[in-house]
């Protein structure tokens, strides 16, 4: 009986040493969970939007516009990737916050994200492809094009379609990648942002879409013939199918064919600069839908 009483007395009257241990544990456990567990899970990593496109389309100007929130800065051709922290403008609600009450104080906190600009020059496009093969919390891709250089027969249309073909094909083949981060990209939204709509020679968004689809069809057919002439696929057509963008065997390429591979492509017009100022509201809305 005395033993039970002694144990009860010890529990009700802990020693100073035990109290010190308890206080230390109470302080260190939350710090450990925050610094190790939460960081390891990636909860503190900002979502990112990848900005790619041919040289001269206005990518760096768009980057500075989104960073500043007012007017773009004077820029020059970028030679290396640039990452900046941006936030949605006032009045634009992120998709993850659309069900919050208007009186929720967290609505006052602008949704932040990283915008990653990549060089558009042909010899430097590996930077963009590297970001696709090693994504960091990637939420979407903006492919910026110059809508004034996409008329039929323009070299700008051919080079733009060629680059876009490579990007979409890489996204299509992502499930074959050994990189776990790439395989986790289940649904990848792609915005083809048609820039310089303020210019007289710029094509409207609908024509930008159809022109790129037509030119990508030509790129796809040309590359398929190249494989055939090289002798690849004469006995086994598996490699030809792997390098065929969109629906296998289709004559005409359509962006809607990419939905089979969970790549959702949209085309939207705007302009980074102009006499009446930037017109990028549709692009902001698209970004908000990804966050």
Q: Give 84-97 pLDDT, tens digit per residue.
A: 888 888 777 777 76
Q: What angle do CA 191, 193, 198 make, to 5 degrees?
A: 160
Entry pTM: 0.75
Question: Nearest-CA neighbor of 247 among 271, 263, 266?
Answer: 263
Q: Give 220-257 pLDDT, tens digit per residue.
A: 988 877 654 444 444 455 555 668 888 888 889 999 99
Q: Give 47-69 pLDDT, tens digit per residue.
A: 889 999 998 888 888 998 988 87
Question: Nearest-CA neighbor of 89 among 291, 288, 290, 289?
Answer: 288
> Is pLDDT at 40 greater than 50 in this prediction?
no
Confidence at residue 145, expressed as pLDDT on a 0 to 100 scale: 95
**Binning pLDDT at 50, 70 and 90, where does residue 206 land?**
very high
More confident residue, 167 or 119: 167
Confidence at residue 140, expressed as pLDDT on a 0 to 100 scale: 92
Strand residues in 134-200 grouped as ranges (E): 138-146, 188-195
**Distance separating alpha carbons of residues 17 and 243, to the nearest angstrom:** 69
Q: What angle do CA 272, 274, 278 make, to 5 degrees?
A: 40
Indicate the average pLDDT of the chain.
Answer: 78
**Distance separating alpha carbons of residues 210 and 67, to the nearest angstrom:** 31
**Binning pLDDT at 50, 70 and 90, where does residue 214 land?**
very high
> Is pLDDT at 258 greater than 90 in this prediction?
yes
């Amino acid at each position: 009986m005395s033993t039970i009483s002694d144990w009860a007395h010890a529990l009700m009257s802990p020693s100073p040493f035990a109290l010190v241990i308890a206080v230390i544990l109470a302080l260190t456990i939350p710090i450990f969970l925050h610094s190790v567990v939460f960081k390891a899970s990636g909860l503190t990593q900002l979502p990112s939007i990848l900005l790619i496109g041919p040289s001269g389309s206005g990518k760096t100007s768009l980057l500075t516009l989104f960073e500043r929130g007012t007017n773009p800065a004077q820029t020059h051709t970028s030679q290396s990737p640039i990452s900046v922290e941006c936030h949605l403008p006032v009045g634009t609600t992120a998709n993850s916050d659309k069900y919050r009450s208007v009186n929720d104080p967290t609505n006052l906190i602008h949704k932040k994200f990283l915008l990653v600009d990549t060089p558009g020059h042909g010899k430097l496009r590996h930077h963009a492809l590297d970001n696709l093969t090693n994504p960091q919390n990637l939420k979407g891709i903006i492919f910026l094009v110059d809508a004034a250089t996409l008329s039929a027969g323009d070299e700008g249309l051919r080079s733009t379609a060629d680059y876009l073909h490579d990007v979409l094909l890489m996204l299509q083949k992502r499930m074959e990648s050994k990189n776990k981060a790439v395989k986790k990209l289940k649904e990848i939204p792609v915005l083809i942002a048609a820039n310089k709509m303020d210019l007289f020679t710029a094509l409207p968004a609908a024509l930008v879409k159809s022109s790129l689809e037509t030119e990508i069809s030509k790129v796809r057919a040309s590359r398929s013939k190249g494989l055939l002439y090289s002798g690849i696929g004469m006995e086994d057509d598996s490699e030809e199918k792997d390098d065929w963008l969109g629906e296998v065997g289709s004559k005409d390429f359509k962006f809607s064919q990419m939905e089979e591979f969970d790549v959702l492509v949209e085309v939207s017009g705007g302009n980074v600069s102009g006499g009446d100022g930037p017109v990028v509201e549709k692009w902001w809305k698209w970004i908000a839908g990804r966050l």
